[in-house]
Structure 1
Protein backbone atom coordinates (compact mmCIF):
# COMPACT_ATOMS: atom_id res chain seq x y z
CA UNK A 1 0.00 0.00 0.00
CA UNK A 2 1.46 3.35 -1.03
CA UNK A 3 1.82 6.18 1.53
CA UNK A 4 -1.04 8.28 0.09
CA UNK A 5 -3.51 5.39 0.23
CA UNK A 6 -2.35 4.48 3.74
CA UNK A 7 -2.70 8.08 4.91
CA UNK A 8 -6.19 8.35 3.43
CA UNK A 9 -7.31 5.06 4.99
CA UNK A 10 -5.91 6.06 8.36
CA UNK A 11 -7.62 9.44 8.26
CA UNK A 12 -10.92 7.89 7.16
CA UNK A 13 -10.74 5.37 9.99
CA UNK A 14 -9.65 7.96 12.53
CA UNK A 15 -12.47 10.27 11.53
CA UNK A 16 -15.06 7.54 11.94
CA UNK A 17 -13.73 6.15 15.23
CA UNK A 18 -12.63 9.39 16.89
CA UNK A 19 -15.92 11.09 16.05
CA UNK A 20 -18.04 8.11 17.18
CA UNK A 21 -16.21 7.33 20.42
CA UNK A 22 -13.74 10.08 21.24
CA UNK A 23 -10.02 10.40 20.68
CA UNK A 24 -8.85 8.91 23.95
CA UNK A 25 -11.14 5.88 23.65
CA UNK A 26 -9.46 4.75 20.42
CA UNK A 27 -5.96 3.31 20.48
CA UNK A 28 -3.42 3.21 17.69
CA UNK A 29 -3.61 -0.57 17.49
CA UNK A 30 -7.37 -0.40 16.93
CA UNK A 31 -6.84 2.23 14.22
CA UNK A 32 -4.22 0.06 12.55
CA UNK A 33 -6.48 -2.99 12.58
CA UNK A 34 -9.61 -1.13 11.43
CA UNK A 35 -7.76 0.66 8.62
CA UNK A 36 -5.83 -2.38 7.41
CA UNK A 37 -2.61 -0.36 7.46
CA UNK A 38 0.51 -1.97 8.86
CA UNK A 39 1.94 -0.62 12.09
CA UNK A 40 5.13 0.37 10.32
CA UNK A 41 3.22 2.33 7.64
CA UNK A 42 0.96 3.92 10.26
CA UNK A 43 3.96 5.38 12.09
CA UNK A 44 5.55 6.43 8.79
CA UNK A 45 2.43 8.44 8.01
CA UNK A 46 1.79 9.67 11.54
CA UNK A 47 4.74 9.40 13.95
CA UNK A 48 2.44 9.91 16.95
CA UNK A 49 -1.22 9.75 17.84
CA UNK A 50 -1.13 13.51 18.29
CA UNK A 51 -0.07 13.86 14.65
CA UNK A 52 -2.95 11.62 13.56
CA UNK A 53 -5.47 13.53 15.67
CA UNK A 54 -4.29 16.82 14.23
CA UNK A 55 -4.45 15.38 10.70
CA UNK A 56 -7.97 14.15 11.31
CA UNK A 57 -9.10 17.53 12.63
CA UNK A 58 -7.46 19.51 9.82
CA UNK A 59 -9.06 17.33 7.16
CA UNK A 60 -12.43 17.37 8.91
CA UNK A 61 -12.28 21.17 9.08
CA UNK A 62 -11.73 21.42 5.36
CA UNK A 63 -14.51 18.97 4.52
CA UNK A 64 -16.99 20.41 7.00
CA UNK A 65 -16.53 24.03 5.92
CA UNK A 66 -16.61 23.04 2.23
CA UNK A 67 -19.94 21.24 2.70
CA UNK A 68 -21.35 24.22 4.58
CA UNK A 69 -20.20 26.73 1.96
CA UNK A 70 -21.58 24.58 -0.85
CA UNK A 71 -24.99 24.44 0.83
CA UNK A 72 -25.01 28.18 1.50
CA UNK A 73 -24.04 28.95 -2.10
CA UNK A 74 -26.78 26.66 -3.43
CA UNK A 75 -29.57 27.79 -1.10
CA UNK A 76 -28.89 31.44 -0.37
CA UNK A 77 -29.97 33.92 -3.02
CA UNK A 78 -29.63 37.07 -0.89
CA UNK A 79 -27.09 37.99 1.80
CA UNK A 80 -29.73 37.41 4.49
CA UNK A 81 -30.70 34.05 2.97
CA UNK A 82 -27.05 32.97 2.88
CA UNK A 83 -26.62 33.64 6.61
CA UNK A 84 -29.83 31.81 7.44
CA UNK A 85 -28.87 28.91 5.15
CA UNK A 86 -26.01 28.24 7.58
CA UNK A 87 -28.59 27.29 10.21
CA UNK A 88 -30.62 25.23 7.75
CA UNK A 89 -27.48 23.22 6.94
CA UNK A 90 -26.77 22.83 10.65
CA UNK A 91 -30.25 21.43 11.20
CA UNK A 92 -29.76 18.81 8.49
CA UNK A 93 -26.32 17.91 9.86
CA UNK A 94 -27.56 17.73 13.46
CA UNK A 95 -30.38 15.45 12.28
CA UNK A 96 -27.93 12.92 10.80
CA UNK A 97 -28.01 9.62 12.75
CA UNK A 98 -24.23 9.71 13.21
CA UNK A 99 -24.19 13.26 14.59
CA UNK A 100 -22.05 13.53 17.74
CA UNK A 101 -21.60 17.28 18.05
CA UNK A 102 -18.66 19.40 17.06
CA UNK A 103 -15.54 17.29 16.52
CA UNK A 104 -13.40 20.30 17.44
CA UNK A 105 -15.16 21.06 20.71
CA UNK A 106 -15.13 17.34 21.53
CA UNK A 107 -11.40 16.96 20.82
CA UNK A 108 -10.58 20.21 22.61
CA UNK A 109 -12.52 18.99 25.64
CA UNK A 110 -10.55 15.76 25.66
CA UNK A 111 -7.07 17.00 24.81
CA UNK A 112 -6.99 20.78 24.48
CA UNK A 113 -5.27 21.31 27.80
CA UNK A 114 -2.48 18.85 27.01
CA UNK A 115 -2.09 19.02 23.23
CA UNK A 116 -1.09 22.23 21.52
CA UNK A 117 -1.80 20.58 18.15
CA UNK A 118 -5.40 19.73 19.08
CA UNK A 119 -5.97 23.14 20.66
CA UNK A 120 -4.50 24.81 17.58
CA UNK A 121 -6.63 22.80 15.15
CA UNK A 122 -9.78 23.57 17.15
CA UNK A 123 -8.96 27.27 17.36
CA UNK A 124 -8.11 27.43 13.66
CA UNK A 125 -11.45 25.80 12.79
CA UNK A 126 -13.43 28.21 14.95
CA UNK A 127 -11.46 31.18 13.61
CA UNK A 128 -12.07 30.09 9.99
CA UNK A 129 -15.76 29.54 10.67
CA UNK A 130 -16.05 32.97 12.26
CA UNK A 131 -14.26 34.54 9.26
CA UNK A 132 -16.68 32.76 6.92
CA UNK A 133 -19.77 33.88 8.83
CA UNK A 134 -18.38 37.40 9.20
CA UNK A 135 -17.76 37.44 5.45
CA UNK A 136 -21.42 36.62 4.91
CA UNK A 137 -22.38 39.35 7.38
CA UNK A 138 -20.25 41.86 5.45
CA UNK A 139 -22.66 41.44 2.52
CA UNK A 140 -25.41 42.99 4.65
CA UNK A 141 -25.86 46.70 5.33
CA UNK A 142 -24.65 46.48 8.94
CA UNK A 143 -22.43 48.79 10.97
CA UNK A 144 -20.42 46.03 12.63
CA UNK A 145 -20.26 42.78 10.64
CA UNK A 146 -17.51 41.46 12.94
CA UNK A 147 -19.80 41.73 15.96
CA UNK A 148 -22.69 40.14 14.06
CA UNK A 149 -20.39 37.33 12.86
CA UNK A 150 -19.26 36.68 16.43
CA UNK A 151 -22.83 36.60 17.70
CA UNK A 152 -23.85 34.19 14.96
CA UNK A 153 -20.88 31.94 15.72
CA UNK A 154 -22.08 31.70 19.32
CA UNK A 155 -25.49 30.65 18.04
CA UNK A 156 -23.88 28.07 15.74
CA UNK A 157 -21.75 26.54 18.49
CA UNK A 158 -24.63 26.64 20.94
CA UNK A 159 -26.96 24.92 18.49
CA UNK A 160 -24.43 22.20 17.74
CA UNK A 161 -23.68 21.57 21.41
CA UNK A 162 -27.32 21.64 22.46
CA UNK A 163 -28.34 19.31 19.63
CA UNK A 164 -25.56 16.87 20.55
CA UNK A 165 -26.42 16.80 24.24
CA UNK A 166 -30.20 16.80 23.85
CA UNK A 167 -30.31 14.56 20.80
CA UNK A 168 -32.71 17.06 19.24
CA UNK A 169 -31.73 18.87 16.02
CA UNK A 170 -34.43 21.48 16.72
CA UNK A 171 -31.73 23.51 18.47
CA UNK A 172 -30.52 24.55 15.02
CA UNK A 173 -34.01 25.79 14.14
CA UNK A 174 -34.16 27.75 17.39
CA UNK A 175 -30.74 29.24 16.63
CA UNK A 176 -32.02 30.20 13.18
CA UNK A 177 -34.88 32.17 14.74
CA UNK A 178 -32.42 33.93 17.05
CA UNK A 179 -30.16 34.63 14.05
CA UNK A 180 -33.08 36.21 12.20
CA UNK A 181 -33.67 38.48 15.19
CA UNK A 182 -29.98 39.49 15.31
CA UNK A 183 -29.84 40.11 11.57
CA UNK A 184 -33.02 42.20 11.66
CA UNK A 185 -31.69 44.27 14.57
CA UNK A 186 -28.33 44.77 12.85
CA UNK A 187 -29.85 45.81 9.53
CA UNK A 188 -32.72 47.70 11.16
Structure 2
Protein backbone atom coordinates (compact mmCIF):
# COMPACT_ATOMS: atom_id res chain seq x y z
CA UNK A 1 0.00 0.00 0.00
CA UNK A 2 1.49 3.38 -0.97
CA UNK A 3 2.37 5.72 1.87
CA UNK A 4 0.06 8.65 2.58
CA UNK A 5 1.95 11.22 0.49
CA UNK A 6 2.24 8.91 -2.53
CA UNK A 7 -1.42 7.90 -2.25
CA UNK A 8 -2.51 11.55 -2.03
CA UNK A 9 -0.46 12.34 -5.12
CA UNK A 10 -2.01 9.36 -6.93
CA UNK A 11 -5.53 10.47 -6.01
CA UNK A 12 -4.89 14.12 -6.88
CA UNK A 13 -3.41 13.30 -10.29
CA UNK A 14 -6.48 11.20 -11.11
CA UNK A 15 -8.90 13.79 -9.71
CA UNK A 16 -7.24 16.65 -11.56
CA UNK A 17 -7.52 14.90 -14.90
CA UNK A 18 -11.16 13.97 -14.30
CA UNK A 19 -12.29 17.29 -12.79
CA UNK A 20 -10.57 19.33 -15.49
CA UNK A 21 -11.83 17.16 -18.37
CA UNK A 22 -15.40 16.49 -17.25
CA UNK A 23 -16.23 19.04 -14.55
CA UNK A 24 -16.43 18.56 -10.80
CA UNK A 25 -20.14 17.79 -10.47
CA UNK A 26 -19.97 15.12 -13.19
CA UNK A 27 -17.19 13.19 -11.42
CA UNK A 28 -18.01 11.07 -8.39
CA UNK A 29 -15.63 9.56 -5.88
CA UNK A 30 -16.15 6.16 -7.57
CA UNK A 31 -14.63 7.57 -10.77
CA UNK A 32 -11.66 8.93 -8.83
CA UNK A 33 -11.27 5.54 -7.15
CA UNK A 34 -11.26 3.77 -10.52
CA UNK A 35 -8.83 6.22 -12.12
CA UNK A 36 -6.45 6.33 -9.15
CA UNK A 37 -6.41 2.61 -8.36
CA UNK A 38 -7.04 3.37 -4.67
CA UNK A 39 -9.90 1.88 -2.71
CA UNK A 40 -12.85 4.08 -1.80
CA UNK A 41 -11.99 3.55 1.87
CA UNK A 42 -8.43 4.78 1.25
CA UNK A 43 -9.71 7.80 -0.68
CA UNK A 44 -11.93 8.84 2.20
CA UNK A 45 -9.06 8.34 4.65
CA UNK A 46 -7.03 10.80 2.59
CA UNK A 47 -9.90 13.20 1.80
CA UNK A 48 -12.86 13.10 4.21
CA UNK A 49 -15.19 14.57 1.57
CA UNK A 50 -15.34 15.30 -2.13
CA UNK A 51 -15.06 19.01 -1.31
CA UNK A 52 -11.80 18.34 0.56
CA UNK A 53 -10.49 16.60 -2.57
CA UNK A 54 -11.64 19.51 -4.76
CA UNK A 55 -9.91 22.05 -2.50
CA UNK A 56 -6.66 20.05 -2.58
CA UNK A 57 -6.95 19.75 -6.36
CA UNK A 58 -7.29 23.54 -6.64
CA UNK A 59 -4.42 24.17 -4.24
CA UNK A 60 -2.14 21.87 -6.23
CA UNK A 61 -3.30 23.37 -9.53
CA UNK A 62 -2.60 26.89 -8.26
CA UNK A 63 0.92 25.98 -7.20
CA UNK A 64 1.77 24.15 -10.43
CA UNK A 65 0.22 26.77 -12.72
CA UNK A 66 1.98 29.71 -11.09
CA UNK A 67 5.31 27.87 -10.95
CA UNK A 68 5.11 26.95 -14.66
CA UNK A 69 4.28 30.56 -15.59
CA UNK A 70 7.08 32.02 -13.46
CA UNK A 71 9.58 29.47 -14.77
CA UNK A 72 8.82 30.50 -18.35
CA UNK A 73 8.86 34.23 -17.60
CA UNK A 74 12.19 33.87 -15.76
CA UNK A 75 13.85 32.70 -19.01
CA UNK A 76 13.40 36.24 -20.38
CA UNK A 77 15.80 39.06 -19.59
CA UNK A 78 14.33 42.54 -19.91
CA UNK A 79 11.32 43.70 -17.86
CA UNK A 80 9.34 44.35 -21.07
CA UNK A 81 10.10 40.86 -22.45
CA UNK A 82 9.01 39.35 -19.14
CA UNK A 83 5.58 41.01 -19.38
CA UNK A 84 5.06 39.83 -22.97
CA UNK A 85 6.30 36.35 -21.99
CA UNK A 86 3.15 35.93 -19.87
CA UNK A 87 1.04 36.03 -23.04
CA UNK A 88 3.46 33.76 -24.93
CA UNK A 89 3.14 31.23 -22.11
CA UNK A 90 -0.64 31.50 -22.31
CA UNK A 91 -0.40 30.63 -26.02
CA UNK A 92 1.56 27.48 -25.17
CA UNK A 93 -1.01 26.55 -22.50
CA UNK A 94 -3.95 27.19 -24.84
CA UNK A 95 -2.28 24.96 -27.47
CA UNK A 96 -2.33 21.90 -25.20
CA UNK A 97 -4.73 19.28 -26.61
CA UNK A 98 -6.68 18.97 -23.34
CA UNK A 99 -7.04 22.74 -22.71
CA UNK A 100 -10.45 23.47 -21.18
CA UNK A 101 -9.90 26.94 -19.80
CA UNK A 102 -9.08 27.99 -16.27
CA UNK A 103 -9.71 25.30 -13.66
CA UNK A 104 -10.55 28.04 -11.15
CA UNK A 105 -13.12 29.78 -13.35
CA UNK A 106 -14.62 26.39 -14.17
CA UNK A 107 -14.75 25.39 -10.49
CA UNK A 108 -16.18 28.76 -9.49
CA UNK A 109 -18.85 28.40 -12.16
CA UNK A 110 -19.83 25.00 -10.80
CA UNK A 111 -19.42 25.49 -7.06
CA UNK A 112 -18.75 29.16 -6.29
CA UNK A 113 -22.33 29.78 -5.24
CA UNK A 114 -22.49 26.82 -2.85
CA UNK A 115 -18.90 26.46 -1.60
CA UNK A 116 -17.39 29.53 0.08
CA UNK A 117 -14.05 27.68 0.21
CA UNK A 118 -13.97 27.12 -3.57
CA UNK A 119 -14.91 30.77 -4.11
CA UNK A 120 -12.15 31.89 -1.73
CA UNK A 121 -9.53 29.69 -3.41
CA UNK A 122 -10.52 31.05 -6.81
CA UNK A 123 -10.19 34.62 -5.55
CA UNK A 124 -6.77 33.87 -4.02
CA UNK A 125 -5.53 32.34 -7.28
CA UNK A 126 -6.76 35.28 -9.35
CA UNK A 127 -5.33 37.79 -6.86
CA UNK A 128 -1.94 36.04 -6.94
CA UNK A 129 -1.91 36.18 -10.76
CA UNK A 130 -2.89 39.85 -10.66
CA UNK A 131 -0.16 40.66 -8.12
CA UNK A 132 2.44 38.79 -10.19
CA UNK A 133 1.56 40.57 -13.43
CA UNK A 134 1.41 43.97 -11.71
CA UNK A 135 4.89 43.31 -10.27
CA UNK A 136 6.19 42.52 -13.76
CA UNK A 137 4.60 45.67 -15.18
CA UNK A 138 5.85 48.02 -12.45
CA UNK A 139 9.37 46.63 -12.98
CA UNK A 140 9.19 48.24 -16.46
CA UNK A 141 8.55 51.63 -14.85
CA UNK A 142 4.91 51.62 -15.89
CA UNK A 143 2.03 52.04 -13.41
CA UNK A 144 0.13 49.29 -11.60
CA UNK A 145 -3.03 50.39 -13.44
CA UNK A 146 -1.48 49.04 -16.66
CA UNK A 147 -0.94 45.73 -14.84
CA UNK A 148 -4.64 45.62 -13.99
CA UNK A 149 -5.51 46.26 -17.64
CA UNK A 150 -3.20 43.46 -18.80
CA UNK A 151 -4.76 41.09 -16.27
CA UNK A 152 -8.13 41.71 -17.91
CA UNK A 153 -6.58 40.99 -21.32
CA UNK A 154 -5.10 37.74 -20.01
CA UNK A 155 -8.29 36.64 -18.27
CA UNK A 156 -10.34 37.41 -21.37
CA UNK A 157 -7.93 35.40 -23.50
CA UNK A 158 -8.11 32.43 -21.10
CA UNK A 159 -11.90 32.28 -21.34
CA UNK A 160 -12.12 33.04 -25.07
CA UNK A 161 -9.55 30.36 -25.91
CA UNK A 162 -11.57 27.78 -23.99
CA UNK A 163 -14.79 28.72 -25.79
CA UNK A 164 -13.31 28.99 -29.30
CA UNK A 165 -10.92 26.05 -29.01
CA UNK A 166 -8.03 28.05 -30.44
CA UNK A 167 -4.84 29.61 -29.06
CA UNK A 168 -5.37 32.76 -31.16
CA UNK A 169 -6.73 34.85 -28.24
CA UNK A 170 -3.28 34.70 -26.61
CA UNK A 171 -1.69 36.24 -29.71
CA UNK A 172 -4.37 38.94 -29.86
CA UNK A 173 -3.95 39.70 -26.15
CA UNK A 174 -0.14 39.78 -26.55
CA UNK A 175 -0.44 42.29 -29.40
CA UNK A 176 -2.83 44.44 -27.36
CA UNK A 177 -0.44 44.26 -24.37
CA UNK A 178 2.46 45.44 -26.55
CA UNK A 179 0.35 48.34 -27.81
CA UNK A 180 -0.66 49.36 -24.29
CA UNK A 181 2.97 49.14 -23.10
CA UNK A 182 4.07 51.32 -26.02
CA UNK A 183 1.26 53.82 -25.40
CA UNK A 184 2.24 54.20 -21.75
CA UNK A 185 5.91 54.59 -22.70
CA UNK A 186 5.12 57.27 -25.30
CA UNK A 187 2.76 59.08 -22.92
CA UNK A 188 5.48 59.15 -20.23
CA UNK A 189 8.03 60.53 -22.72
CA UNK A 190 5.62 63.27 -23.77
CA UNK A 191 4.54 64.01 -20.18
CA UNK A 192 7.43 62.98 -17.91
CA UNK A 193 5.96 64.66 -14.81
CA UNK A 194 2.55 62.95 -15.03
CA UNK A 195 2.07 60.27 -12.40
CA UNK A 196 5.19 61.22 -10.46
Q: TM-score, normalised by structure 1?
A: 0.96
Larger of the two Rg values belongs to structure: 2
Q: How far apart, in 1, do the equivalents of 2:23 and 2:185 lie?
A: 41
Q: Please name the residue that 2:92 is paired with.
A: 92
Q: Please name the residue that 2:121 is paired with.
A: 121
Q: Report whether the alignment pairs 1:157 with 2:134.
A: no
Task: Verify the 8 A CA contact 1:101 1:163 in the aligned structure 2.
Answer: yes
Q: How far apart, in 1, do the equivalents of 2:67 and 2:135 lie?
A: 15
Q: How far apart, in 1, do the equivalents of 2:94 and 2:151 lie?
A: 16
Q: How far apart, in 2, do the equivalents of 1:159 and 1:105 lie?
A: 13
Deviation at 1:130, TM superposition (A): 0.5
Deviation at 1:149, TM superposition (A): 1.6
Q: How far apart, in 2, do the equivalents of 1:27 and 1:82 lie?
A: 41
Q: How far apart, in 1, do the equivalents of 2:37 and 2:68 lie?
A: 28
SS at match of 2:74: helix
Deviation string for 1:80-114 (max 9, x for gaps)? 10000000010011011011100000000000010
Number of residue pairs matched? 185
Deviation at 1:53, TM superposition (A): 0.5
Q: How far apart, in 1, do the equivalents of 2:77 and 2:5 lie?
A: 39
Q: How far apart, in 1, do the equivalents of 2:105 and 2:184 lie?
A: 28
> Unmatched 5+ residue regions in structure 2?
187-196
Q: How far apart, in 2, do the equivalents of 1:15 and 1:178 lie?
A: 32
Deviation at 1:40, TM superposition (A): 1.6
Runs of 4+ in structure 1 displaced over 3 angstroms?
none
Deviation at 1:185, TM superposition (A): 2.0
Task: Verify the 8 A CA contact 1:140 1:187 in the aligned structure 2.
Answer: no
Q: Please name the residue that 1:52 is paired with.
A: 53
Q: How far apart, in 2, do the equivalents of 1:44 and 1:186 lie?
A: 54
Deviates more, 1:35-44 or 1:92-101: 35-44
Deviation at 1:187, TM superposition (A): 2.4
What is the RMSD of the two structures over their aligned residues, measured on CA atoms? 0.9
Q: Please name the residue that 1:71 is paired with.
A: 72
> Unmatched 5+ residue regions in structure 1?
none
